[in-house]
Structure 1
Amino acid sequence: MFKHLFKLIWNKKSQNFLLLIEILVSFMVVFLLSSSVVYYMINYQKPMGMDYKPVWMIQYNNELPTKNTDSIVMFYDAVKQHIASFPEVAEVSFSGNNIPFSSSFSSTDISNKGVKYERISNFRVEDDFIKVWSMNLKEGRWFNAGDRIYKDRPIVINESLKKKMFGDAPATGQLISNKEEESKWRVIGVVEDVKDESDFSPVMDGMYLRIDTGTFKWLSTITLKVNSNADAAFESRLSKYLSNTFKNSSIEIAHLEDMRKEKNRSKAMPVVIFMIVAGFLIINVALGIFGVLWYNINKRKSEIGLRRAIGATGNTVSIQLVSESLLLATLSLILGVFFAVQFPLLHVFDMPSNVYFIAIGIAIIFIYLLVFICSLYPGKQAAGIHPAIALHEE
């Protein structure tokens, strides 16, 4: 039967070529769209690694009249203590600008036993940072006041970087260095991975460094964990205090929940646009497949009538036409899968290999369903052709 179907397809190769191309393009579009959706869903299902909902962010312009380090540290200690005195505030911490869901990014390159690791997210934090974000320690400890005096500067890394650098071995006590191997850091702890970009973004390899006295000169971000009774009235009082404290400085207070939603929208928007475009394309392809099959039936009335005259049933004719369509889809899918498997081999878009293979499976199932549905009605119409009428018309 398949040999006969191949002959029929080959005899009409000029008519089927366009249909093959349409199915191939549809497969690639569905494959690319599925890759993005599957990648986002896998990332979405991973834990956040923190509690961002009660966290607020304060940003200010760092323009203090003094350059004396001790005076700057005393000033910020006083600011922190005053903010912590509000009954609505549970925890307060200064940090670098690249907090979760912000538009700021800071990275560095590090080295471990001669192996280089590039673009590691670099976070500058205080001792209370872990309390503000309710982060989970997986190994070792967090920073404390005793880390002000050190031989090798203490550092905390996340689970992803730990697995990449040390595998299943303990990371606590290990020494790492910067890319030039001029500075040494000693790992004192490992924290759970934090999704700091968006719900749909992958976890970045990260490292946390403790803020020292010299860092306060360029800091401009405060994060605070608020209680459930923090409302607009408290935000107004907080803004008024900060405006009076940081003279001639623009104060911005943002809620991390709102920042997260904005990040998720910006991350999902390209995929939504791609889905709309792909939807229109697939609808056009479906109409094209339906039209081609309808045209082929009208052109093959004599063939169908002859088959019916020599004893073929309507169901047999219908199955033949549907089988031809599915065989055409298979030929296109073979070529499409060949192109699709190049994506994990060449590390296109830098996604995990399993994402591409899941997307290939989804795209194959979708194309078969699309072709099957589009060929059902033309196949039914072909089954209803009366042999005497078809032969009489010829």
Structure 2
Amino acid sequence: MFKHLFKLIWNKKKQNFLLITEMFVSFLVLFAVFSMVVYFYQNYKKPAGFDYNDVWVATFSMPEHLQSNDSVNLFAEAMRNSLKSMPEIKELSFTSMNVPFSMSTNGTSVSSQQKPRVHTNIFEVEPTYKDVLSIHMVEGRWFQKGDHVAKLRPVVLNQKLKEELFGSEPALGKTLGEENYKTGQFEDRFKVIGVVQNLKETGDYQAIESGVYRGMDSGGLRWNNTILLKVQPGADAAFESRLFKTLSNMTGTSIEIEHLEKKRITKNKLALVPMIIMLIVGGFLIINVAMGLFGVLWYNINKRRGEIGLRRAIGASGSAVSKQLIGEAMVLSTMALIVGSFFAVQFPLLHVFDLPASVYVAAILLAIVFIYLLVFVCALYPGKQAAAIYPAVALHEE
């Protein structure tokens, strides 16, 4: 049976080559689309690692008349006391501008004995940062008052950075080096005091990034003019208006108040844009492939009415004729998938785009199943039409 199918395909190799090429290109496009879909889905399934509900972000500028660190710290303490006096605010924390779901980034390179250079995000935070976001500790402890006076600055790592730097070894008590931009050398500057669960700070669909948290020192408040506020559930626009007025009166500068939940939605929408574009392109391609395949099979039936009539005249059943046409289409798709799979397998082998191998494997399987289903559906109706051809009519027309 297969030998006969290959012989029929070979006799029309030029026409079939175009079909194989069309299905090969379709497979590659579907592989790319499914890779993105699987990648986003795997990221979406991971836990957030923190609670962003009822958390607001307030950004401001320090008044220009504050010159010394002492005056800045006194002003920040007065602001903290004023805000905490509001019953709607449960907790607050000054932090750097790269809060969760923001467009701001702050990066550095750190090193350990196992890894000489690892790029990571760095977050300047206060001890209350953990309580505002309900962060879960995996090892060790969070920051305490007085940690910033230690010789080596205490830091907390997320699980991803801990695994990159130390693998399965414990991280507590170990030192990290940071690059000295004047000399270009890495010098021991940090001591690990804790490890926290990974936080999906870049959105639900993006990969978790490495992160190191370090306590904000007395001079950090001058440059870190962002406050995270944990508010009571149900805090409304009236309270937001009072909060805005309070901050504006204290700073005399422009104030911006955002909700982490809304920032998360915006961040997720931006992440989905490339996937939506890929889905649209892939959808148009699949429609064109389906129409082309359906048209070619229909054309083949009309061209091969004499052959089909002869097969029916010598005893072939209608179902056998239908299976033959469907079988030819499936063999053509198998040829295209073998070539396409060869190229697709190179992605996990060569670590292209540095995605997990499971993403590519799942995308290959999904693309194969989709192509087979598409070809089967497109060949099914023409196959039934071929099975309905009467031998006498077909031979009479010839």
TM-score normalised by structure 2 residue count: 0.97
What's the CA shift for 1:259?
0.3
**Aligned AA (1:154):** P
Contact preservation (8 Å) 1:88, 1:229: no
Question: Equivalents in 2 of 1:117, 1:125: separation in Å?
Answer: 23
SS in 1 for 2:86: coil
1:221 aligns with 2:200: no
- Of stretches 345-354 and 75-84 in structure 1, the one that deviates more from structure 2 is 345-354
What's the CA shift for 1:118?
2.8
Question: Equivalents in 2 of 1:199, 1:148: separation in Å?
Answer: 33
SS in 1 for 2:186: coil
Cα shift readout 1:52-101 (whole Å, capped 9, x = no counterpart): 01100001123431211111111101111111111000111000000100
**Aligned AA (2:92):** V
Cα shift readout 1:297-339 (whole Å, capped 9, x = no counterpart): 1111111111111111111000000000000000000010011
1:127 aligns with 2:132: no
Question: Equivalents in 1 of 2:388, 2:373: separation in Å?
Answer: 23
Matches within 5 A, 1:270-289: 270-289=274-293
SS in 1 for 2:191: strand
Which structure 2 segments of 5+ residues have no match? 180-184
What's 2:136 paired with?
A: 136
What's the CA shift for 1:148?
3.0
Contact preservation (8 Å) 1:243, 1:251: yes
What's 2:315 paired with?
A: 311
What's the CA shift for 1:113?
1.1
What's the CA shift for 1:351?
1.1
What's the CA shift for 1:216?
1.4
Question: Equivalents in 1 of 2:266, 2:26: separation in Å?
Answer: 32
Question: Equivalents in 1 of 2:150, 2:157: separation in Å?
Answer: 18
What's 1:68 paired with?
A: 68
**Aligned AA (1:363):** A
Question: Equivalents in 1 of 2:378, 2:116: separation in Å?
Answer: 54
1:381 aligns with 2:395: no
Contact preservation (8 Å) 2:148, 2:216: no
- Of stretches 346-355 and 95-104 in structure 1, the one that deviates more from structure 2 is 346-355
Question: Equivalents in 2 of 1:189, 1:374: separation in Å?
Answer: 58
- Of stretches 341-350 and 318-327 in structure 1, the one that deviates more from structure 2 is 341-350
What's the CA shift for 1:114?
5.9
**Aligned AA (1:160):** K
What's the CA shift for 1:193?
0.3
- Of stretches 315-324 and 165-174 in structure 1, the one that deviates more from structure 2 is 165-174
What's 1:117 paired with?
A: 117
SS in 1 for 2:92: strand
Matches within 5 A, 1:255-266: 255-266=259-270
Matches within 5 A, 1:90-105: 90-105=90-105
1:391 to 381, 392, 395: 395
Contact preservation (8 Å) 2:57, 2:257: yes
Question: Equivalents in 1 of 2:287, 2:344: separation in Å?
Answer: 22
- Root mean square deviation, CA, Å: 1.1
Which structure 1 segments of 5+ residues have no match? none
**Aligned AA (2:186):** E
**Aligned AA (1:144):** Q
Contact preservation (8 Å) 2:97, 2:224: yes
2:209 to 204, 211, 214: 204
Question: Equivalents in 1 of 2:226, 2:243: separation in Å?
Answer: 14
- Of stretches 83-92 and 114-123 in structure 1, the one that deviates more from structure 2 is 114-123
Matches within 5 A, 1:153-302: 153-179=153-179, 180-247=185-252, 249-302=253-306
Contact preservation (8 Å) 2:114, 2:165: no
Contact preservation (8 Å) 2:49, 2:197: yes
What's the CA shift for 1:215?
1.1
The change in CA–CA distance for 1:314 and 1:140 in structure 2 (over 3 A counts) is same
Question: Equivalents in 1 of 2:232, 2:167: separation in Å?
Answer: 39
Contact preservation (8 Å) 2:54, 2:232: yes
SS in 2 for 1:219: coil
What's 1:364 paired with?
A: 368
What's the CA shift for 1:348?
2.1
Question: Equivalents in 1 of 2:199, 2:58: separation in Å?
Answer: 20
Question: Equivalents in 2 of 1:58, 1:46: separation in Å?
Answer: 28
Question: Equivalents in 2 of 1:84, 1:230: separation in Å?
Answer: 15
What's 1:15 paired with?
A: 15
Contact preservation (8 Å) 1:62, 1:219: no
Question: Equivalents in 2 of 1:162, 1:137: separation in Å?
Answer: 13
Cα shift readout 1:165-189 (whole Å, capped 9, x = no counterpart): 2222221111111133224211000
Cα shift readout 1:205-239 (whole Å, capped 9, x = no counterpart): 11001100111121121111001142111111110
SS in 1 for 2:146: helix
Contact preservation (8 Å) 2:148, 2:154: no
What's 1:86 paired with?
A: 86
Question: Equivalents in 2 of 1:148, 1:328: separation in Å?
Answer: 68
SS in 2 for 1:116: coil
Question: Equivalents in 1 of 2:363, 2:264: separation in Å?
Answer: 27
**Aligned AA (2:373):** L
Question: Equivalents in 2 of 1:178, 1:159: separation in Å?
Answer: 19
SS in 1 for 2:389: coil
Question: Equivalents in 2 of 1:305, 1:17: separation in Å?
Answer: 26
Contact preservation (8 Å) 2:112, 2:166: no
Question: Equivalents in 2 of 1:226, 1:12: separation in Å?
Answer: 72
